């Protein structure tokens, strides 16, 4: 089945109307490692929620004026809801290093908590709930493409994303981060 899905995905590659070239998928997979131990693809700041050795996969699938991002996790804290978003900077040795959420239309007021900007149509929200084994899958499709070099990571947060005015887009502490070279 997985081979069939891969073959179908390859057959459905999007052709850019400007160049005629296929827009490639971006695929990142790895294991979380404790922050501060050197440069890692994926770092954890909370070993209870996101243990070292737990696995993460992020796939970006660009389309004609759209972007789909998929997030898969294995071995994280079971039976728990987390928030997750695309951020503007790469992961670093501190949770704050990944910068704010990527926004298609940037809120002039930062940090952004205005629902006109902090919403799942203007940002990539990948909230998920883990199963009894600590596995989860989430995806989001937005009607725009990332600006080159401005989307650099996916951050996993403490709880589901808030949507109320004054708190919109917030999801608590940054628990983990994975570097992704979004196209």
Query: At a CB cut-off of 8 Å and minimum separation 6, what does 18 contact?
Result: none
pLDDT digits (tens, 9 = 90+) for 4-34: 333 333 333 333 333 344 578 999 999 999 9
**Region 99-121 average pLDDT:** 96
CA distance 109 to 172: 19
Measured between its terminal Cα atoms, the distance across the chain in Å is: 28
Is the dihedral angle over the CA atoms 46, 42, 151, 2 positive or is it negative? negative
pLDDT digits (tens, 9 = 90+) for 113-152: 999 999 999 999 999 999 999 999 999 999 999 999 999 9
Domains of the chain (ranges; CATH) run 25-179 (2.60.40.200)
β strands within 35-134, DSSP E: 42-44, 55-62, 67-74, 81-87, 128-129
pLDDT digits (tens, 9 = 90+) for 58-69: 999 999 999 999
Which residue in 147, 168, 155, 166 sits closest to 104, CA to CA?
A: 147
CA distance 92 to 59: 21
CA distance 6 to 157: 30
CA distance 93 to 70: 24
């Amino acid at each position: 089945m997985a081979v069939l899905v891969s073959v179908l995905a390859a057959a459905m590659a999007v052709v850019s109307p400007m160049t005629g070239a296929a827009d490639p998928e971006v695929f990142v997979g790895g294991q979380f490692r404790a922050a501060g131990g050197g440069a890692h693809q994926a770092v954890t700041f909370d070993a209870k929620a996101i243990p070292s050795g737990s696995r993460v996969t992020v796939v970006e699938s660009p389309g004609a004026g759209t972007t789909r991002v998929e997030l898969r996790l294995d071995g994280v804290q079971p039976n728990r809801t987390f928030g997750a978003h695309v951020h503007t900077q790469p992961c670093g040795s501190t949770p704050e290093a990944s910068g704010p959420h990527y926004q298609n239309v940037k809120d002039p007021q930062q940090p952004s908590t205005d629902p006109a900007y902090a919403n799942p149509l203007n940002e990539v929200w990948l909230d998920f709930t883990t199963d009894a084994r600590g596995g989860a899958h989430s995806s989001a499709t937005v009607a725009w493409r990332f600006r080159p070099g401005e989307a650099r990571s996916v951050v996993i947060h403490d709880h589901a994303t808030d949507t109320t005015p004054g708190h919109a887009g917030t999801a608590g502490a940054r628990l983990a981060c994975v570097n992704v070279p979004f196209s």
